[in-house]
Amino acid sequence: MRIDWRVTPAALAVAGLMGAAGPAQAQDFTGGKNMRIVVGSSAGAGFDAFGRMVGRHLGANIPGKPSIVVSNMPGAGSLKAVQSLKAAPADGTYMVLFNPGAVLNSLLQPKKVKVNFTKEVHFIGSATADARVCHAWHTTGVKTLQDLLKRKQFTTGHTGNTAATYIDAAILKNVFGAKIKQIVGYPGATEQRLAVERGELDGDCGTWESVPANWIKDKKTTIFIRISKVNVPELKGVPHVSEFANAEQKKIIDLLTTHNLMFRPFIVSSKVPMDKVKVLRDAFWKTIQSEPFRADAKKSKRGIIDPLRGEDLTKLVANLYAAPKDLIPKAAAAVK
């Protein structure tokens, strides 16, 4: 597994603009209180693992070295956790790790996902980008996109229709015409994997790391398509979905998959003062690059691909919200 610790040019540019530490950095950041990281997924899944891994190391890089308590708040594709920020303290002690599919859906379904990610949150950083795939259980006989398109039905499971996994499968369903039945309501990836093994689901979509290694080794499942442009050596030979798309479809796919560049995003409420946001952003970036965190990631077999600073996430989301107006309804139709 590749663990990539490269700093992107954009991140270096932002780093060069960082000024001196503000008042919040010169003293105990929390005033003796514990910090909280709320993970918007069930325990045992990839988001949970990253949340707990960051929780183990982030405190060491925050003034006062506060203890960090990690808890889970699954629901609605992690939107429940995001919305909990509205009642959170405004002192920087409450962070949320959420599924970035919610960012896209706030643009495509603003009446349903009532969060403006350019105004209501501050981005602290993202631990990794996301190499997303879809895979099919061996009993289905699906080994390629063409095989999928021939099936009368293929069932996938999701936490909600704002989840990135839902978007992945919806692209195959609505852009390419695959007959996919999408079932929502699963607490997280752990429960979805169990449903695949039971035969309740025909396969699934998600981060490639969420596909159990023994499933691939024992040929129990086949990764047949890449959804995001983020790639890793282990997926060599697996085609990207855009290879089968026309020019218009490629634009839709690009809009629907941009959020994969910020796969493990940490946020706080926009009510948190910017001097405290800066402390958290600096601490997060230092943590991601630290030797203890790297060792933990390697031990946990969690790849780190192009992490992003909070400032870069802010720009990325702003660009997403600035998408051409005529493209948004087309993209929205593709994920219904």
**Tell me: the pLDDT tens digits for 207-247?**
888 899 999 999 999 999 999 988 888 999 999 999 999 99
Nearest one of 152, 161, 210 to 183, comparing CA atoms: 161
Are 145 and 226 in the same domain? yes
pLDDT at position 15 is: 40
Residue 53 is assigned to a structural domain of this protein: yes
Higher pLDDT, 206 or 97: 97
| pLDDT-based confidence at residue 65 (cuts at 50, 70, 90) | very high
Residue 219 is assigned to a structural domain of this protein: yes
Which of 257, 275, 301 is the C-terminal boundary of a domain? 257
| pLDDT-based confidence at residue 89 (cuts at 50, 70, 90) | very high
- Mean pLDDT for 19-38 is 74
Residue 116 is assigned to a structural domain of this protein: yes
CA 191 to chain centre: 18
| Enclosing domain of residue 94 | 9-130+259-334
What's the CATH number where 85 sits? Answer: 3.40.190.150
- Mean pLDDT for 315-326 is 95
Strands (E), the chain: 35-39, 68-72, 94-97, 121-126, 132-137, 154-158, 180-184, 203-207, 221-226, 265-269, 308-309
- Which residue, chain included where needed, has tokens 């009510």? 271
pLDDT at position 244 is: 97
Residue 281 has pLDDT above 80, yes or no: yes
Which of 233, 257, 281 is the C-terminal boundary of a domain? 257
Are 106 and 146 in the same domain? no
Residue 20 has pLDDT above 70, yes or no: no
Which of 227, 257, 287 is the C-terminal boundary of a domain? 257
pLDDT at position 2 is: 40
Are 123 and 208 in the same domain? no
Alpha-carbon distance of 113 to 206, in angstroms, equals: 21
- Mean pLDDT for 13-19 is 40
Are 146 and 291 in the same domain? no
Are 113 and 157 in the same domain? no
What's the CATH number where 149 sits? Answer: 3.40.190.10
- Mean pLDDT for 321-333 is 94
Are 170 and 244 in the same domain? yes
> How many structural domains is the chain composed of?
2
Question: For residues 38-63, b (16+ Cβ closer than 10 Å) or e, as one string?
Answer: bbbbbbebbbbbbbbbbbebbbebbe
Averaged pLDDT of the chain: 90
Residue 37 is assigned to a structural domain of this protein: yes
Q: Could you tell me if 277 and 268 are in contact, meaning their C-beta atoms sit under 8 angstroms apart?
A: yes
Higher pLDDT, 109 or 146: 146
Residue 85 is assigned to a structural domain of this protein: yes
CA 265 to chain centre: 6
Tokens matching residue 194: 């169990």
CA distances from 284 to 46, 90, 179, 259 (A): 19, 18, 42, 20
* Per-residue pLDDT tens digits for 147-178: 999 999 999 999 888 778 998 999 999 999 99
Alpha-carbon distance of 333 to 336, in angstroms, equals: 5
- Mean pLDDT for 181-203 is 94
Residue 4 is assigned to a structural domain of this protein: no
Residue 303 is assigned to a structural domain of this protein: yes
pLDDT at position 35 is: 98
Are 124 and 272 in the same domain? yes
pLDDT at position 25 is: 46
pLDDT at position 302 is: 81
Are 103 and 243 in the same domain? no
Are 225 and 314 in the same domain? no
Q: Where are the alpha helices (DSSP H) in 58-137?
A: 79-83, 101-108
Are 240 and 266 in the same domain? no
Are 208 and 263 in the same domain? no
Name the β-bridge partners of 94: 36
Task: Compute the half-sphere exposure of residue 240: CA atoms within 13 Å on the CB side of its CA.
Answer: 12
Are 138 and 233 in the same domain? yes
- Mean pLDDT for 13-41 is 69
pLDDT at position 207 is: 85
| pLDDT-based confidence at residue 18 (cuts at 50, 70, 90) | very low
Residue 2 is assigned to a structural domain of this protein: no
